[in-house]
Amino acid sequence: MSAEKTARRTLRLPGFGRLASAYLVNELGNWLGEIALAVVVFELTNSPIATAGLFVAMQFVPAITAPLLIARIDALSSRRALSLLYAGEAAAFCALAVLADGDAFVLSLVFVIAAIDGTLATSARARSRAAAGAILEPAGLLREGNGLLNLGFTAGAAAGPALAGVLVATAGAQVALLADAASFVAVSLLLATSSALSGADHQEDSGGVPWRMRLRAGFTYVRERPLLGRLIAAEAVAFVFFALVLPIEVVFAKETLDAGDLGYGLLLASWGAGMVLGSLIFSGLRSASLASLLVGGTVAIGAAYLGTAVAPTLAVACLASAVGGAGNGVQWVAVVTAIQELTAQAYQARVIGLLESLASGLSGVGFLLGGAIAALVSPRASFAVAGFGVLAVLVVAVAALRGVSWQERAEAPTVIPAPIETV
């Protein structure tokens, strides 16, 4: 079957088209909200520290709170859980739009609401992946469906910053935040009216069990499965090095390469274009093993960072960035698909939620480390450390995963103790 026919068949699966649309809007909304909020906070405080605090609130806090929220809503149907999450995001951005007015601005309240929205967004991504897995796996289209989700994700990552920049520049940050809220209202209604999502990934493995026990059972499930646990641990460490260069790219483009604002934009656009290409490559290599795609994608990212570290011109840096983006587009969807294939359906939301939370928290660690290296040594040094770090993690991960069975998934869930009844 051709790739085009497979894509059409996948999108026609009941409920999947709506999930894919929601996933794309979530990524676009994240970029639109983050950039608009960053503009508001910097303009009203004129403080780089306050702007950095905003990203800490949106990155570090969800790493802790998202797994708790996912465990709380795990017993809800996908339709109800996702519609509530997106409605919550809409309410958060409405509140932020009100606070974006200079007279109503309260920095601490902006941080709190931004952290809440980050928690909702992370939880929505994890729950969407779990619901998609429940639809795709019975049809034998998990890899194809994940490829389409990742294509939407990368397209959102590539178009989101440009859309945000245009909207904020022409209409203002407050209008951008309200537009973001409207998009989440539309998605909430789209999912709330999908009967196909009423039971997707909803299993009564935890009926009547307190959310704390469901949360603990999710961690136990990962700990009891060597391949799953080691794969998540390796990706968690890799997140630090993947994110290490993000805060210093602007300095690298404008000062190290003397390429100005246009050069910075081209560097980011090259990575985004590469990500879209990587998503297409993943979708086209349906016969390749996930292990080979994971290794290949990770090698491409590490090599791209090293290439950028020694790039003499903007053109060379953009070429390396495109290679890294392609590796990113392959690596991320491969690791998510592998984790889904290794996880019983009843635990999908909690395990993917753990991965998303690690991505948020440890990427923040990477931001801090990359900035420190650039300040103490140089931006080129940050790229070099990131490249060598990614490749070192890959070498250690391959050694740790060698000889571990890739067939460890068990549908029988980890036993959750029954709640204690009180008389």
Q: What is the pLDDT of residues 313-332, one digit of tens each?
A: 999 999 999 999 999 999 99
Angle of helix 142-171 versus helix 16-45 axis, rounded to 10: 30
Using the predicted structure, report yes or no on whether residue 337 has a pLDDT greater than 70: yes
Q: State the average pLDDT for the chain.
A: 84
Q: Are 298 and 346 in contact (CB under 8 A)?
A: no
User: 251: pLDDT confidence band, cut at 50, 70 and 90?
Assistant: confident
Domain ranges, ordered by start, for the chain? 12-202, 221-403
Question: What is the pLDDT, as a whole number, of residue 418?
Answer: 42
Q: Are 301 and 248 in contact (CB under 8 A)?
A: no
Rounded to whole angstroms, the Cα distance separating 270 from 266 reads 6
Question: What is the pLDDT, as a whole number, of residue 416?
Answer: 46
| Average pLDDT of the residues in 226-250 | 89
User: 204: pLDDT confidence band, cut at 50, 70 and 90?
Assistant: very low
| Average pLDDT of the residues in 57-77 | 86
Q: 387: which 2 tokens?
A: 């490249």
Q: What are phi and psi of 13, to 5 degrees?
A: -60, 135
Tell me which residue of 85, 78, 182, 180 sits closest to 124, measured CA to CA: 85
Q: 340: which 2 tokens?
A: 């889904």
User: 417: pLDDT confidence band, cut at 50, 70 and 90?
Assistant: very low
pLDDT digits (tens, 9 = 90+) for 258-317: 988 788 778 888 888 898 899 889 888 878 888 899 999 999 999 999 999 999 999 999
Equal fold, 12-202 vs 221-403: yes
Q: Which residue has the higher pLDDT, 201 or 370?
A: 370
Q: Which residue has the higher pLDDT, 412 or 42?
A: 42
Rounded to whole angstroms, the Cα distance separating 137 from 201 reads 11
Q: 371: which 2 tokens?
A: 């900035």
pLDDT digits (tens, 9 = 90+) for 86-98: 999 999 999 999 9
Using the predicted structure, report yes or no on whether residue 410 has a pLDDT greater than 60: no
- pLDDT above 90 covers what percent of the chain? 30
CATH number for the domain formed by residue range(s) 12-202:
1.20.1250.20
Angle of helix 173-192 versus helix 142-171 axis, rounded to 10: 150
Rounded to whole angstroms, the Cα distance separating 349 from 19 reads 14
Spell out the residues 6+ positions from residue 355 whose beta carbon is closer than 8 angstroms to its own. Answer: 126, 232, 235, 335, 336, 339
- Determine whether domain 221-403 maps to CATH 1.20.1250.20: yes
Using the predicted structure, report yes or no on whether residue 419 has a pLDDT greater than 70: no
Position 416, amino acid:
I
Q: Which residues of 275-301 are buried (b: 16+ CB within 10 A; e: fewer)?
A: bbbbbbbbbebeeeebeebbbbbbebb
Helices (H), 172-289: 173-192, 211-223, 226-243, 249-251, 260-284
Question: What is the pLDDT, as a whole number, of residue 3?
Answer: 63
**CB neighbours (10 Å) of residue 117?**
28
Question: What is the pLDDT, as a whole number, of residue 423?
Answer: 33
Position 312, amino acid:
P
Position 72, amino acid:
R
Rounded to whole angstroms, the Cα distance separating 142 from 336 reads 10
Position 363, amino acid:
S
| Average pLDDT of the residues in 226-236 | 91
| Average pLDDT of the residues in 178-184 | 91
